[in-house]
Amino acid sequence: MKALILAGGYATRLYPITKFIPKPLLLINGKPMIEFIVDKLMQIDNLDEIIIVTNAKFYNHFRLWQERITNANIYGIRITVINDLTTADGTKRGAIGDMQYVVDQCKVDDDLIIVGGDNLFEFAMPDLISYFNERKKNIVVLHDIHDKEAVKRFSIVELNHENKLINFEEKPKDPRTTLIAICCYILKKETVPRIKEYLEKGNNPDTPGYLIEWLYENDEVYGYVFSESWYDIGNIEQFEEANLKYANL
C-alpha cells in the first residue's frame, strides 16, 4: 500500500498565516500538522511509501521538511515530495488532478490511501486498514458532526445495512443526515486507474468529494464510521481550536 497526502492547495482562507508557509506545515502545539498525519500512516504495517503532492510555490518548504526528518531518521520509510508545477490558486490542478498527476509521475500500481493534508483525526489507523482488508472494497472515512447547518460545507453520506454507500452529496443545500465524508479514502489497486477515467469525462478536478460521488455510482464504495475527534483546518478559528485541543492532550 502507498499513501498520498494532498498538500497542493494555497490555503487562501488562512491568509495571512499561510501566505508564506503551506498549511500542512503550520505548527499545531509546536509540531507541523503533516507530522500528525504521517504518525497515523506509520501505523499501517504494509505501507511502503508516503507521497506528498504540493505546488511549486511551497515545494521547497516540503523538501526542507523532508530532508530534516530523513536526516533525523524519524520515520524510516520512503517519503517522496512531488511538485505539481502550479504557481497560483487560479492555475492549480485541483485535488483530483493532483491525484492523477501523482499516479502518472510515481507510476502508482498499488492500493492507495489518500489523506487531506489539513485533516487531524484520532481514530486508530489499524482499525481502518483491517476494515479495508476484510472487504477489499473502496473505503471512504465518515464522521457524524451532529450539526445540520455545518454539514452544508461538507459531503453527506447515506449507507445501507452493510455500510455500502447508497447516496453521496457534495455540499448539500438541504441535508438529510449529519454523517459526512472526511478527506480520507482507500482506493483498491484496481480502482486507481478510474481517477483518470473520472477526469477524462470532464468532471470537476478539484474537490475530492466529487470523485467519491462519481465513484460510488460506478463502483462499490463502503463507509468506515469513526467517533473520535476530527479537525478540518479550513480557517483561522479551526486552526486555533485545534491548537487548543492538542495543547491539552
Whether 167 is in a domain gets the answer no
Give the pLDDT score at 249.
62
E strand segments, 14-164: 27-28, 31-32, 49-54, 78-83, 112-116, 119-121, 138-144, 155-159
Whether 235 is in a domain gets the answer yes
Whether 171 is in a domain gets the answer no
Whether 158 is in a domain gets the answer no
| Mean pLDDT to the nearest integer, 166-176 | 89
Residue 16 pLDDT greater than 90, yes or no: no
Classify each residue of 212-240 as buried b or exposed e, where b means 16 or more C-beta atoms within 10 Å of its C-beta.
bbbbbeeeebbbbebeeebbbbeeeebbe
Residue 8's pLDDT band, with cuts at 50, 70 and 90, is very high
Residues 39-65: tens digit of each pLDDT: 999 999 999 999 999 999 999 999 999
Residue 188's pLDDT band, with cuts at 50, 70 and 90, is very high
The verdict on pTM exceeding 0.75 is: yes
Residue 142 pLDDT greater than 80, yes or no: yes
- Residue 193 Cα to chain centre, angstroms: 18
Residue 18's pLDDT band, with cuts at 50, 70 and 90, is confident
Q: In this structure, what C-alpha cell is assigned to residue 36?
A: 500528525
Residue 55 maps to which CATH number?
Answer: 3.90.550.10
Count of the separate structural domains present in the chain: 1
Whether 175 is in a domain gets the answer no
Whether 145 is in a domain gets the answer no
More confident of the two residues 13 and 48: 48
Q: Which residue range(s) make up the domain with 105?
A: 2-140+184-204+231-247
Whether 161 is in a domain gets the answer no
